[in-house]
Structure 1
Amino acid sequence: MRVLALDVGSKTIGLAVSDVGGSMAHAREVLRRQGHKLDSAAVLALASELEVRALVVGLPLELDGSEGHRARLVRRFLKVLEAAIAEAERALPVHTWDERYSTAAAERTLLEADVSRAKRKQNIDAVAAQFILQGWLDAQARRRESSTPDDRGEPW
């Protein structure tokens, strides 16, 4: 089961996708923002193409865990995205995931890989989405491992 993750920024949306087994995240691409409706349509088209079964959207929480201005902007996009999913009559659950530190982790990873500044700028949002997705996938795996045999249904 594939999962698609989004790192929603003001100018771009970084995308990452899991492997079919839902255990490993891979950076995919970066979309230029064109407005909530067009962005939602692009995400849904990719989700359909990749046959994903769930979306994970990074929620930029404040350091204290509260939702600030950036999180409210992402929540506005989420409303449009969920409306587009409903309009398309798709069963595509949308999950949010704390994305604090994902961009910093992506930057560190790209620096350690000695990626040029220009390439880092082009790819950082997709790599941040990869960190978001891997965190979510790992949490789902831990949840499945700690569940009792009677409640091992699909967590997504």
Structure 2
Amino acid sequence: MIRIMGLDVGDKTIGVAISDPLGFTAQGVTTIRRKGIKSDLSQLRTIIEQYDIKEVVVGLPKNMNNTIGPQGEKVLNFVDKFKKEFDLEVILQDERLTTVSAERMLIDADVSRKKRKDVIDKVAATYILGSYLEKKNRGE
């Protein structure tokens, strides 16, 4: 029984989700406002220690033709720094359309635009981690 953390890494924020101890569900935990890599990693360290995280799933934004664009390069750069800081397994999860799905779900739930802006990254991280857990539990 290990907890897995899901991250939606953006320029301004990092959405964070955590699996339940059995690895079936993903819950959004927080959105980190980015202030620099040292601060970002410090805040993530607190969460990693609090939940005893053993594995991390990071959403990798790809273009629709499966290539990696500028945003994907930024995420890969973040992952390199993360791996130097933490001795954890890092899995890259294709995150195409997760933010779109998260936004649609929040609109369907009638969440105001202001509130959506505050939670969208956390919800996207939940989608990223949830997709990974589903595949893992199906044995893919």
Say yes or no: TM over 0.5. Answer: yes
Q: How far apart, CA to CA, are the structure 1 residues paired with 2:79 and 2:39? A: 13
Residue in 1 that maps onto 2:55: 54
Aligned to 2:12: 11
Following the alignment from structure 2 to structure 1, what is the Cα–Cα distance between the partners of residues 39 and 80? 13
Q: Displacement of 1:106 after TM fit?
A: 0.3
Hey, what does 1:75 align to over in structure 2?
A: 76
Give, as a single letter, the amino acid of the residue that structure 2 aligns with 1:39. Answer: D
How many Å apart are 1:51 and its aligned residue? Answer: 1.0
Aligned to 2:91: 95
1:136 lines up with 2:127 in the alignment? no
Choose from 99, 112, 130 the match for 1:116: 112
Counterpart Cα distance in 1 of 2:78 and 2:37: 6
Question: Percent identity, aligned pairs only?
Answer: 39
TM-score norm. by structure 2 comes to: 0.95
Listed as ranges, the gaps of 5+ residues in structure 2 are none
Are the aligned partners of 1:37 and 1:80 in contact in 2 as well (CA < 8 Å)?
Answer: no
Distance in 2 (alpha carbons) for counterparts of 1:46 and 1:26: 13
CA distance in 2, matches of 1:128, 1:73: 17
Q: Deviation above 4 Å: which 4+ runs of structure 1?
A: none
Aligned residue pair count: 139
Partner of 2:41: 40
Larger radius of gyration: 1
Q: Secondary structure at the match of 1:67?
A: coil
Please report the RMSD computed on the Cα atoms of aligned residues, expressed in angstroms.
1.0
CA displacement, residues 46-102 of structure 1 (integer Å, 9 cap, x when unaligned): 1111111111100001111111111100111111110011xxxx4x21111000000
Give 1:36's aligned amino acid. Answer: I
Distance in structure 2 (CA, Å) of the matches to 1:97 and 1:80: 18
Structure 1 length as normaliser, TM-score? 0.86
Q: Which moved more, 1:135-144 or 1:115-124?
A: 135-144
Structure 2 counterpart of 1:6, which letter?
L
Note the residue ranges of structure 1 that are not aligned, 5 or more in a row: 145-156
